[in-house]
Structure 1
């Protein structure tokens, strides 16, 4: 009887998958250095049939007319290289057979290593078709989510809470425009090791689609950022975020503060902010202690906004300050730069003025208020010494380095919003002097990077970050199947000689 039961389960679970795998030819593309499968490798035939490797680096081939013969595949991937042949082609001729396998290697140009896709449909599609093992519980469709914009996350009550922007679904072109969310277990409490993946447990609506967790009144999408966990006077954890209401694609017409309701699994409005206030939560927050007090730092290109780390102060924009050399009380058309007796810029925490930006500093230079070599934003490429303008960033303390690390998105790089840089400094306020490009894209966006310090391994030697892979703002009309408009996770090894600490201390 026991043998019959085993045979039954084998038939139920194993045999159909084995039969299916026998129909496909498996191409696995691996990183020549780490030997790990590379996601997002494009394999294209001479007649433009395109295959894209899944998060295991696997492409499943079963094309009538091309089986049991030699097929040439052009091979390309953002941040990776394949050798060029005598005619200048980058690819390989492969004998494609049912049930066959081949492994190809690519050289990584990126310093950071692409690990897997976090969101969307078909993350391990080709692995399932070829019978390969997969790490996640829902490898092809989770919460009926096909694509999600820009992630924010925070540890809250011993779990990781994740929230995204606009999200696509299978059943209709319009999806969730009011912040889908999910939770995952921490790696040391039953969750997957971060290098393997994330098991997301979505909050679902009555139809099984990722529900709206921040459906604020008013027309247009709701987006959130500045997600932060704070403790109240009783020691209870509370989860807050800034929300904005959007019209005309990118125009913000309302902003305020929301708090997560554990029972409803959604955010509730706590405060509508004065829309004309110059300082408010924005970007990925950083916890920092200064002057004997705990603060939360906010900012886009750099965390230059602070507020005391209490729920009351978080809701009161009058308590917000920015680290700046601009004198308060001056008009935007003619800012006055504050200097000491020696003529040096006087940086102080100041209220009621906007944070420094590269655009503001360019205006000050044009007005004759500031010299080019006095700018706060002085990040330069370690190799070329050219200025690198950062659009937004994610900053975190790193134990391995004993420094603050920045993962920053370049504005107007090789791709308009597709180049990611690493920098480090002794303080979260900088100065951020030198940077090294760690991820590159060919006419494709990879924006709003989020560093995950909680998941860092080996005391911070290995750090992890993700961003949104999309054609938006890239000028590229060709979207990568399954990958476009989704989150991709990267690993960065800080022991890489190209990231030697002394290089950033020049």
Structure 2
């Protein structure tokens, strides 16, 4: 009898708080257009108690002293607006009661719609507290991951493999700085529909924390990018990436090639690259066929580096070329510009020269070697006609538009690394002439955007992308609880009339 009572006590004590939903007042913030919940909407009381909606757009309120009271909540969210009253306040007075509910609509200013948080703790915390259904198998803590930096992913052996940068955990401020990873199933192969979320199955260590999959020798973190799946001569798929070793303050001192071993779920070093080589894999890769040969294109700002799409070529930096008008053999600070007989810049695939970017071309303009109008990096805002300096981008083919599409972050804008742009072109090489801002953040960074062509819906009409939401580089010292330093997924509807294809063809 005593043992039975003890067992009942243990079971009762272990019942999660989500079963006590009647104790909470639920505020659901929704997109006025789609009626979908808005993640990352902030609700702040007059005495600065802050609630942030989860990935269902829900905030659970149970504040002693405010229950059974009329409570005013200021309402704000990056890229969304709530109407202002006569005094300029944007908010709503609600009768807060246990078990009560309220729905608030916000107008979306962003063209892209924020869907959910991909990583971190408490993704559906408030939904559970208020008894709402959630799509994820692990909705509040997965592999002890509280925060993760930039994502790389690729389809490998029929599943999606995901890897991130530095990752936080609950037990100590220092976490995994050696590439955590996970796998997920494709939506049509047992995975969630991408509009609902991603069930990540992390590789974990003995403690249950997301394990180090790429701990290369040397001081400091290991980071990877340029993750790509290639077939070798036997037709075997191989998953490869560039790695870098980093020391303070964010100084890369080694780079090379690693390959993922699916039996051990570890990356293994294949080669250390010549650190002085001007061309190497970087950014998010793009497959592209030219003259009957399949290439992989790389680039941080623009995909202007190419190498033949096989593992042997990928490991050989002498095989890399970049689309450029710079003449090989000229100096680092005194590049020679090559022109054709008509005086136009002579673009060609060239080896042993660095890829073009805004900083390099600015020097060439200052030296009088090219004019500002000739620069490749002349990406402009459709609305203002101002030049936009791209920090990094993710390019993919889009069948709906029959164009190559680019999702890119802006280096300098209203919010440092917090603004995202959409553009399209006939080739992944561009020219990328015009872009439209589709996401903005108020004094918050959102960098390293990754477009997910694997998940595009309705023949590419709906495209999905994510990025790292963080205060880093923004100058903002106020971090959003649970969201900061994590990946957030967005959706863009290319049928939106504000994305009329004619604009990008000017």
Structure 1 position 353, deviation (Å): 0.6
Check the 8 A contact 2:325/2:346 in 1, yes or no. yes
Report the equivalent of 2:469: 469
Deviations 1:297-349 (A, max 9, x none): 00011000000011010000000000000000000111111001110010000
C-alpha separation in 2, matches of 1:232 and 1:344:
40
Which aligned runs of 4 or more in structure 1 are off by greater than 2 angstroms? Answer: 15-19
Report the equivalent of 1:41: 41
Structure 1 position 249, deviation (Å): 3.2
Secondary structure in 1 aligned to 2:318? Answer: helix
Check the 8 A contact 1:79/1:439 in 2, yes or no. yes
Structure 1 position 38, deviation (Å): 0.1
Secondary structure in 1 aligned to 2:188? Answer: helix
C-alpha separation in 2, matches of 1:177 and 1:51:
30
Structure 1 position 292, deviation (Å): 1.0
State TM-score, norm by structure 1: 0.97
State TM-score, norm by structure 2: 0.97
Structure 1 position 16, deviation (Å): 6.9
* Change in CA separation of 1:221 and 1:18 when aligned onto 2, cut-off 3 Å: closer
Check the 8 A contact 1:17/1:131 in 2, yes or no. no
Structure 1 position 484, deviation (Å): 0.1
Deviations 1:8-34 (A, max 9, x none): 9xx99xx97675100000000000000
Structure 1 position 109, deviation (Å): 0.2
Report the equivalent of 2:4: none
Asked if residue 233 in structure 1 is aligned to residue 233 in structure 2, the reply is: yes
Secondary structure in 2 aligned to 1:75? Answer: strand
Asked if residue 121 in structure 1 is aligned to residue 116 in structure 2, the reply is: no
Report the equivalent of 1:80: 80
C-alpha separation in 2, matches of 1:250 and 1:34:
41
Structure 1 position 220, deviation (Å): 0.1
Matches within 5 A, 1:36-435: 36-435=36-435
Deviations 1:55-87 (A, max 9, x none): 000000000000001000000000000000001
Structure 1 unmatched runs, 5+: 1-7
* Change in CA separation of 1:16 and 1:241 when aligned onto 2, cut-off 3 Å: closer
* Change in CA separation of 1:18 and 1:293 when aligned onto 2, cut-off 3 Å: closer
Check the 8 A contact 1:54/1:125 in 2, yes or no. yes
C-alpha separation in 1, matches of 2:469 and 2:333:
37
Deviations 1:382-412 (A, max 9, x none): 1111111100000000000000000000011
Q: How many positions carry a matched residue from both structures? A: 497
Report the equivalent of 1:505: 505
Secondary structure in 1 aligned to 2:333? Answer: helix
CA RMSD of aligned residues (A): 1.4
C-alpha separation in 1, matches of 2:455 and 2:359:
34
Check the 8 A contact 2:322/2:351 in 1, yes or no. yes
Structure 1 position 125, deviation (Å): 0.1
